[in-house]
Amino acid sequence: MVTILYFARLREALGTARETLALPEGVANLGGVRKVIVKRGEPWAHEIASPRIRAAVNQDIAADDTQVKDGDEIAFFPPVTGG
């Protein structure tokens, strides 16, 4: 199982801030996790498939080829701006 966190507008659009997900067989990277979530349909597909949505694995910014394993924490968040 991995823990998935959704921040900012994603939390509101998806109606949840957190979930746990059993990694399906063959899913070993962040891109695979994204695909699993996107397959749920709307609003998941629209929100998580967007190339603007960033992700972190265990609090480190991650790319789709970043490896994931049971026990990891994955966070999805929209771009942030500083001021």
Model pLDDT, residue 82: 56
Q: Domain for residue 82, yes or no?
A: no
| Rounded mean pLDDT for each run of 10 residues along the chain, 83 residues in total | 96 96 96 97 95 95 97 94 55
In this prediction, residue 80 carries a pLDDT of 75
Q: Does residue 83 fall inside a structural domain? A: no
- Residue 58 lies in domain: 2-77
- Provide the CATH number for the domain around residue 10: 3.10.20.30
- Residue 56 bridge partners (DSSP): 61, 75
Among the residues of the chain, which ranges form H helices? 9-14, 30-38, 44-49
Residue from 35, 42, 52 nearest 15 by CA: 42
| 22 within some domain | yes
Contact 32, 25 (CB under 8 A): no
Number of structural domains the chain divides into: 1
Q: Which amino acid is at 45?
A: A
Identity at 57, one-letter amino acid code = V
